[in-house]
Structure 1
Amino acid sequence: MVENIQKYVNKKMEECIVKFKKKINTIRTGRVSTDILNGIFIEYYGKKIELKKIANITIENSQTLKVTPFENSIQKLIEKKIISSNLGLNPISKGNTILIKIPFLTEERRKELVKIVKNDTEKVRINIRNIRRDAKEKIKKLLIDKVITKDKDYTFQSNLQIKTNFFIKKIDNILKKKELELMNF
């Protein structure tokens, strides 16, 4: 029973880290990355499909992304979606490809992005702590129902705190790395 709770906690905390990494990878830094376009979905044959599944996205040069749709008929649709995505990007059609010049980030914009990342980081920390709280409640119930002993409860609680600290530290390291990426010109 306790082992199942431990596995569940580990799985949920790992999922939080993976989602957090995906989210902050969409926040652009001074370098061009294809991850910038990850959150864009296109209405394609009645379904919302992620852009990278219907187009080839590559890095043309240090400040340009190149999007090549698999079908020319959806090129205009992709352009409109990129413009309406609130990423501040301006796509330009060239033949059957779309070029996206990535503007340089101002210091003010970099600071705004750091605030956004810090806000996202705090949300993930809260999620990790909520997972810990839920696990503690489940173990407390097992202790009250006399399914486990006080020693087992103590061991679980200390291991849970160690695991929580580990994941919080992992989140903080990801934050530091992203902050450095954003603030380095």
Structure 2
Amino acid sequence: MYNFNKKEVENRMQKALDAFENHLGSVRSGRASPAFLESVLVEIYGQKMRLKEVASISVVDNFTLSVKPFDSSSASVINKEIQDAGLGVNPILESGIIRVPLPKMTEDRRKEMVKICEKYAEDSKIAIRNIRRDENDKTKKAEKDKEISKDEMERNEADVQKITDMFIKKIEDSLDRKSKEILHI
């Protein structure tokens, strides 16, 4: 028996939005942000863990991050992993604390970062549209199997479209904010 659940659709789309915003946080804008390093994977105690799980990351100034490992004996391993993460930074290890100076971004690099954000936005929009398509397919099948009326099917599809439009707008708003932040000098 088919039962349209608006809350479930919203929850699924919210997860896609959350994933998008998580990706945006990892894209570097003009100033230092702990999110830039949070997703770096570090192999400690025989397993891969995110940097934020093994160290605290803080902002020293606009162009410097500080990483303080919870276990000071792992500082050299963390330093090496940050260096090898392909982020274009050269961390400096000083008495158990790692300073990560971030180079100033050129205009070309800023535009490249915006393009990366746009790609994340498009991927998220596709995920949301796929959720819409799945829900509409379920509704059409239920109508075809005579579980719901044609009017109910159209009402459900209209509700799903409203939810879809709302989440696409949220993605576009987040992308717009991040793009302005990146391009602001």
Normalising by structure 2, what TM-score? 0.96
SS in 2 for 1:147: coil
Gaps of 5+ in 2: none
Code of the aligned partner of 1:116: I
What is the alpha-carbon root mean square deviation over aligned residues?
1.0
Q: Which runs of structure 2 are paired with 1:69-80 in the superposition (5 Å)?
A: 69-80=69-80
Code of the aligned partner of 1:41: L
Identical pairs, percent? 38
Gaps of 5+ in 1: none
- Residues 106-155 of structure 1: CA deviation (Å, up to 9, x unaligned): 00000011111111111111111111000010011110111111111111
**Bigger relative contact order (CA 8 A; separation at least 6):** 2
Task: State the number of aligned residues.
Answer: 184
SS in 2 for 1:90: coil
Normalising by structure 1, what TM-score? 0.96
Q: Which runs of structure 2 are paired with 1:1-185 in the superposition (5 Å)?
A: 1-4=2-5, 6-185=6-185
1:43 Cα offset (Å) = 1.1
Code of the aligned partner of 2:176: K
Equivalents in 2 of 1:120, 1:111: separation in Å?
Answer: 14
SS in 2 for 1:175: helix
Q: Which runs of 4+ in 1 moved over 6 A?
A: none
Code of the aligned partner of 2:182: L
Code of the aligned partner of 2:74: I
1:28 Cα offset (Å) = 0.7
